[in-house]
Amino acid sequence: MILIINLCRERLHYYEFVKPIEDILKQGGFEFESLHYSELDKEVLARCNKVIICGTSLKDEEFVEDLDSFSWLKDFEKPVFGICAGMQILGMVFGGRLKKNLEIGFFHENFEREFLGISGEVEVYHLHNNYVEFGKGFDIFSEKNFVQAVKLRGKEFYGVLFHPEVRNKKMILRFCEDGTD
């Protein structure tokens, strides 16, 4: 089972940031469960095989003030894919610093190495007003003005600052397949 973590403070934002990921997993035939991060417990984390931490709206930064809710990531040994705000959480939990920069729209990112099934120049959709300055524990796969795609060394923790549920759905499917690395 794949656990989808909803970061949205506003319930209506679920339809923009969580439901598209659920739809991709349904179409791919994956079993999943979606929960708001405030509802997580050890039992749910124990029964999942992988975790996707979704993004959220531009004005929803509640998760930044509640970073202790994600301390479980430090000892978690299953694959995790952080999307936008989810990537920011991964970065901050593992020593990165949150910075401000608004980006909205379609951009081209260059992946010099394969990352969750994509490589080369790829059009992606950005919708964020924060990014992370990462520490030394991350491999960087795409970086223009700032890091767009990372993997935490020693774990199967991946993060993208853009929204693959909009233009790069195969990344999500690739993560959900067995043997991600």
The predicted pLDDT at position 180 comes to 53
- Quick one: pLDDT at residue 143? 85
State the pLDDT at residue 57: 81
CA 56 – CA 78 distance, rounded (Å):
23
The rounded average pLDDT for each run of 10 residues, N- to C-terminus, in the chain (181 residues) is: 94 92 98 96 96 87 84 97 96 94 92 94 92 91 90 97 95 86 51
CA 71 – CA 117 distance, rounded (Å) = 29
DSSP string, 107-174: EEEEEEEEETTEEEEEEEEEEEEEEEE--TTEEEEEESSSEEEEEETTTTEEEESS-HHHH-HHHHHH
Q: Give pLDDT, residue 48.
A: 98
Tokens of 99: 């910075």
CATH architecture for segment(s) 2-176: 3-Layer(aba) Sandwich (3.40)
* Domain locations along the chain: 2-176
